[in-house]
A and B are shown apart, each in its own frame.
Chain A
Amino acid sequence: DIQMTQSPSSLSASVGDRVTITCRASQSISSYLNWYQQRPGKAPKVLISAASTLQSGVPSRFSGSGSGTDFTLTISSLQPEDFAIYYCQQSYSISPITFGPGTKVDIK
């Protein structure tokens, strides 16, 4: 299995802050990395695919970068609706498809 780790596991931030979340794969996954946002009681929603491609309708304050084993999700100016849990997911291997453990972003 390709293991995915995320750091930090949680963070507290204020509206307007720049936030960076890191995801690391246990082996190279090229750019086969997606980011999801999950608000309380809701299904996850894809934000970024292929490490850096912003999905349609996702605000431009979200950006992704990285390749190989190390990836980053950045929120340039945190908004109230951004307080949520963020997951990375590798799509390099289907045996199995794996997610990171999540990073909870809450209000400072």
Chain B
Amino acid sequence: QVQLQESGPGLVKPSQTLSLTCTVSGGSISSGNYYWSWIRQPAGKGLEWIGRWFISGSTNYNPSLKSRVTISIDTSKNQFSLKLSSVTAADTAVYYCARYSSSERGENWFDPWGQGTLVTVSS
């Protein structure tokens, strides 16, 4: 079955760019009716959707983060990536990658998820 695994630096300095990669195994990132997504969760808090990428090349971002976020895909490596610029301590969180499945009836849900990776923004 499809599995996702996040990777990237666990510590980022304020004002710098956070960069994470999600490696997809057990299936091709280019096939199927899927959106590849990033979600984050500050410690002890709820879930915040960051954005998603579709095989057509279209992207959708959370308006609250849109000016700082870029999601891109490397089909040759079966990976997708997140870049979040100008980070502050408020961006400290566990970052998850997830597949957003889409049914024929237009229903969507996140499954599977990566295990998550903690990114701390601190000098």
Q: Which residues of chain A have a CB within 8 Å of any CB of chain B?
A: 1, 31-32, 34, 36, 42-46, 49-50, 53, 55, 87, 89, 91, 94-102
Which residues from chain B contact A94 at a C-beta distance below 8 Å? 52, 60
B39 to chain A, nearest CB (A): 8
Q: Are B47 and A45 in contact (CB under 8 A)?
A: no
Q: Are B107 and A32 in contact (CB under 8 A)?
A: yes
Residue of A whose beta carbon sits closest to that of B37? A97
> Cα distance A98–B48 when bound, in Å?
7
A-B contact count (CB 8 A): 63
Q: Are B64 and A96 in contact (CB under 8 A)?
A: yes
A89 to chain B, nearest CB (A): 7
Q: Are A34 and B109 in contact (CB under 8 A)?
A: yes
Q: Are B107 and A95 in contact (CB under 8 A)?
A: no
> Cα distance A50–B109 when bound, in Å?
8
A87-B46, A87-B47, A94-B60 as given contacts; A50 in contact with B105, CB under 8 Å:
yes
Main secondary structure of the interface of A (DSSP, over half): loop
Which residues from chain B contact A102 at a C-beta distance below 8 Å? 46-47
* Cβ 8 A contact of B111, one of A50, A55, A87: A55
**Is B57's beta carbon under 8 Å from chain A?**
no
Chain B positions 100-123 with a Cβ under 8 Å from a chain A Cβ = 103, 105-111, 113-116
Q: Are A49 and B107 in contact (CB under 8 A)?
A: yes
Which residues from chain B contact A99 at a C-beta distance below 8 Å? 46-49
